[in-house]
Structures are given as C-alpha cells and as structure tokens.
Structure 1
C-alpha cells in the first residue's frame, strides 16, 4: 500500500514539473493553472523548511 502511495505522489510531482515546463513554453490554460499551483506549493514548502531550520538553530543556541 505504501509503494502505491509513493508511486502516486511521484507521478503527481513529475506531472507538475512537466506542466511547469510546458506552461513556460506557452502551453494550454490548464497547464498554466497546474504550474501555478505547483509553484505556490513549492514556495510554501520552501518557506516552511526555512522557518523550521531557523527554529532548530535558535533552540540549539544555549550559549
């Protein structure tokens, strides 16, 4: 079951990347919409990772 879930997530990620590239080259409207969603999700994940790293760094500063 876990393998099926991971394969599904991988397929969504690859499909999203394809839509981003296709949208950059002037693809259809739905591809541009999927690309926009993927880029926003990427930014959200990136900012969450940065804030997590900052909080871990601060909690480790006990000097």
Structure 2
C-alpha cells in the first residue's frame, strides 16, 4: 500500500517537472498552470525546511543551542 502511495507521489512529481519544462517552451495554458502549482509547492517546501532548520539552531534563553 505504501509503495502505491510513493509511486503516485513520484508520478505527480515527474508530471509536474515535465509540465515545467513544457511550459517554458510555450506549452498549453493547463501546462503553465500545473507548472506554476509545481513551482509554488517546491517553494513552500523549501521555505518550510529553511524555517525548520532555523528553529533547530535558535539559541535558548541561557545561551545554549538546541540540537
């Protein structure tokens, strides 16, 4: 069951990447929409990971860092 979910996610990611490339070459409107959603999701994931790392490296009140 987990393998099917992972394959589905992989298919969505691959399709999104293909739409990004196709939209750059002047693809149809729906491909540009899918490309924008794909790039937006990637940016959200990048920001959330950056915020998570900052939270781990934030010093505590006594000057020690949380690991």
**TM-score (norm: length of structure 1):** 0.93
Tell me the residue number matched to 1:14.
Answer: 14
Q: Which stretches in structure 2 are left out of the alignment for 5+ residues? A: none
Please list every run of at least 4 consecutive aligned residues from structure 1 whose deviation after the TM superposition is greater than 3 angstroms. Answer: none
**Take 1:7 and 1:29, find their aligned partners in 2: how far apart are those partners?**
26
**SS at 2:64's partner residue?**
coil
What's the C-alpha RMSD, in Å, of the aligned pairs?
1.5
Q: Which has the larger radius of gyration?
A: 2
**TM-score (norm: length of structure 2):** 0.88
Aligned residues between the structures: 63
Q: Which stretches in structure 1 are left out of the alignment for 5+ residues? A: none
